[in-house]
A and B are shown apart, each in its own frame.
Chain A
Amino acid sequence: MLMIRIKAPVKATKGQVIELKAMIQHKMETGYRRDKYGRQIPRDILRRFECLYNEEVVFRAQFFPAVAANPILTFYTVATESGFLVFRWVDEAGVEAFDKVELEVV
């Protein structure tokens, strides 16, 4: 179970620039470390992130092994109409984690 923390306004005025924050619990194993027996620990990182605002991509990011564990992203978008913000992460194996929040635009 990956814990996700989202910070987004519940309400915004039309045309307002809103700040969004998204954090996910993930170890972001680089693939460069070795265990106590000298065996390589396989890479296990998140590869992609995207934020969809009413099914339209408003922010997209790629992750690499140098990104720290439990990555947090802060980004902005313009509030246009009421609807849903979907935050979606995809890891190395294609496994997805997502969260959804509602935004009311007045």
Chain B
Amino acid sequence: MLHSLCRNISILSLLMWSAFASGEEIRSFHDKPDLPTSEIKSGYEFLTRESRMLQSDDFANPGLLWVDRGEILFHEEGEHKSCASCHKGQGNYTLAGAAATFPKMVSGRLTNLEVQINHCRVERQRLVAFEYESEKQLSLTAYVASLSRGMPYQVSIVGDARPSFTKGRDYFFQRRGQLNLACTQCHDDNQGKLLRGDRISQGHPNAYPGYRLEWQTFGSLHRRIQDCDVGVKAAPFEAGSTTYIELELYLAWRAKHLLLESPGIRR
């Protein structure tokens, strides 16, 4: 009797101790260093051989269906001017390499490729903005991104982009959700290991917008980030939200010399 009472007390004190300890638990890892440049690997290298072959296939990559449609939309004109009428093949308005510079500050606002296309539609073409993640937006973004395929990221994180970059970086190192996990815990600390049947990648954005086998369709980077947030049981932000664009800036900077692969194939 006395023995069991003692045991109960010791269990209780253990519980109290752990409750105290959790009060000092690390909430954010923002002091952690970024992924070293020498270790950066594209998500492509974490794929199976078959998925890599699908991405590299100039015909069978299903993302090319969206690129094809985007090319049609790019040249489509009615009462409005087409995208192509300004962004001709050569000169100042060529879009080759443009996708690699986003997200960037455009008239004081952090803008990614999707938002920039909508800006062009509303301001220059006098059209209605695309709904985020709509088929037309995905197609046009896919086409514009495909013009930068094989080029390295060139984002700026200095000047007025600096505060956004810092917020995006903080998001990456902040624990969230019921599983209480930060992006960095999977994509820095446990990259290359198995999460169920999946090989954990470094979480680079260079395949997106891309085709994800799990979705059986084409999607944006923000949809992919939402899936990660849902995965750690956190409430995801809306696709196109400022928070995700800030994170996108950090991810693009973190990917450093990696080449854009859009339309990429991912699991």
Contact = CB atoms under 8 A, between A and B. Distances in A.
Given A21-B59, A21-B60, A72-B60, A5 B217 contact: no
Contacts of A3: 65-66, 68-69
A68 interface: yes
Nearest to B213: A68
A7 B68 contact: no
B60 A25 contact: no
A23 interface: yes
A72 B69 CA distance: 17
A5 B68 contact: yes
B59 A25 contact: no
A27 B65 contact: no
Contact of B216 (A1, A23, A27): A27
A5 B216 contact: no
A68 B216 contact: yes
Q: Which range contains the number of A residues in contact with the other chain?
A: 10 to 19
A69 interface: yes
Contacts of B69: 1, 3, 25
A7 B59 contact: yes
Interface in A4-30: 5, 7, 21, 23, 25, 27-28
Interface in B211-245: 216-217
Interface residues of B, number: 10
A19 B94 CA distance: 36
Contact of B65 (A5, A21, A28, A68): A5
A5 B66 CA distance: 11
A25 B216 CA distance: 11
B217 A23 contact: no
Interface string B50-62: 0000000001101
Scoring B59, B64, B69 by chain A CB atoms within 10 A of each residue's CB, the highest score goes to B59
A25 B59 CA distance: 13
A62 interface: no
Nearest to A2: B65
Nearest to B62: A70
A7 B69 CA distance: 17
Contacts of B216: 27-28, 68-70
A72 B217 CA distance: 14
A69 B65 contact: no
The 10 A-B pairs with the shortest beta carbon distances in the complex, nearest first, are A69-B216, A25-B65, A3-B65, A70-B62, A7-B59, A3-B69, A3-B68, A72-B60, A21-B59, A69-B217
12 contacts: A1-B69, A5-B68, A25-B62, A25-B65, A27-B216, A27-B217, A68-B216, A69-B216, A69-B217, A70-B62, A72-B60, A72-B62
